[in-house]
Amino acid sequence: MKILFSPSETKSNTITSGPLSDESFIFPHLYEKRLDILNAYQSYIEKSPLLLLQKLFGYKDEEKTRLHATINLFTSFTCKAIERYTGVAYQYLDFKTLDAPSQSFLENNVMIFSNLFGPLLGKDFIPEYKLKQGESFNGLDIETFYKKNFTDAIDAWCGDELILDLRAGFYEKFYTLKQPYITMKFLKNGKNVSHFAKAYRGTVLRDIAYHRPSTEKEFQKIPFAGLKLKEILLFKYKQEYIFESID
């Protein structure tokens, strides 16, 4: 099973490995393409005034802005992407408390779509950084850049495996699936959940890590915590599994 996932605005300051290199990422043959974006970002934060950096980072706090402006992507130490992000979904995933086989599954089969680094495996190494969702620099269309240059590689990575797309809508801009896949929608009292959907994505990912399905039938048998399957809607490529909260 391959799983597409979102990053988070909040990040840990964990360091477990050395600075970035072409071995830090999946698709090493596309490392130079990533560098086009990373070099542009690094140059921008080194040369831009405080007000522009506050907008880029999404901070009002001047001290926090200055602190993040001192981070150098290329000399900072790194940790695995799945341990770097600390938002709601990652809190509910609680990666560090999973057993070793579950952690290994997530490290190798979850692709996180960073708005700076592009598509990352859970085990890819990245430094701490800050870039507010939807912001850009130097007039770059980052989502289109990664979609244009990485789509073929992601297609090959997905192969003919079962695919679950758990991304938030914004990150669908980085890659469009052109083969059958599953999505999940979460309801509470018959209504769509918004912010708490992040928590459901985290718990779902945790359950999947334990069960590690390879077919849709195996996926359907997973007793997702706090959720009950209500219906399945079929579209061209997408099967939308709609779950009702039973908490």
**pLDDT in single tens digits along all 247 residues of the chain:** 999 999 999 999 999 999 999 999 999 999 999 999 999 999 999 999 999 999 999 999 999 999 999 999 999 999 999 999 999 999 999 999 999 999 999 999 999 999 999 999 999 999 999 999 999 999 999 999 999 999 999 999 999 999 999 999 999 999 999 999 999 999 988 888 877 899 999 999 999 999 999 999 999 999 999 999 999 999 999 999 999 998 7
User: What are the φ and ψ backbone dihedral angles of 157, each rounded to 5 degrees?
Assistant: -65, -40
For tokens 């007000």, the residue is 51
Is residue 11 within 8 A of residue 85, CB to CB? The reply is yes
pLDDT at position 158, please?
97
- CA torsion 119-124-130-132 (nearest 10°) is 20
Amino acid at 178: K
Rounded CA-CA distance 239/216 in Å is 11
Sign of the four-CA dihedral 28, 30, 31, 34 = negative
Contact partners, residue 165, CB within 8 Å, separation at least 6: 3, 4, 172, 177, 181, 182, 183, 238
The whole domain housing 11 covers: 2-245
Domain count along the chain:
1
pLDDT at position 190, please?
84
Is residue 173 within 8 A of residue 143, CB to CB? The reply is yes
Residues in the chain: 247
Is residue 42 within 8 A of residue 121, CB to CB? The reply is no
pLDDT at position 196, please?
86
Q: Residue 106: exposed, middle, or buried by beta-carbon count in 10 A (0-12, 13-18, 19+)?
A: buried
pLDDT at position 193, please?
83
∠ Cα 137 140 146 (to 5°): 120
pLDDT at position 108, please?
98
Rounded CA-CA distance 21/126 in Å is 10
